[in-house]
Amino acid sequence: MSEINTDNLLAQMRVMAARAQGETATEKTESAGFGGLLKQSIDQVNEMQRQSRIAKESFQAGTGDMSLAEVMLASEKAGIAFQAVLQVRNKVIQAYQDVINMPL
């Protein structure tokens, strides 16, 4: 499995969260700490997964106006976003464990 640059990933997550709320990335970074940014990212991924689920259900029922390609694209975006947040979580846990195991 390839390594992901967590700083780059966090910067991208900040930009995405700022765009979703109509703010610039620098304003958002100054007003929220790491925990706030992480929560916003998780909320955004949750919303993407919810929208993907709704798109799938409406496509299956034949009530939506989305094509199969659009439904699959929404599903893949939600999956990739979830994997990105999962990787950030794993890196944070690993960093915490490294700090805990440091000799005094």
Domains: count for the chain:
1
What's the average model confidence in pLDDT over 92-101?
Answer: 92
Residue at 41 is within a domain = yes
Q: Which helix (H) or strand (E) holds 40?
A: helix 34-61
Q: What is the pTM of this model?
A: 0.62
pLDDT in tens, 2-40: 455 667 767 777 777 777 776 554 554 455 687 888 888
Residue at 1 is within a domain = no
pLDDT in tens, 31-60: 568 788 888 889 999 999 999 999 999 999
Q: Which domain holds residue 65?
A: 6-100
Residue at 80 is within a domain = yes
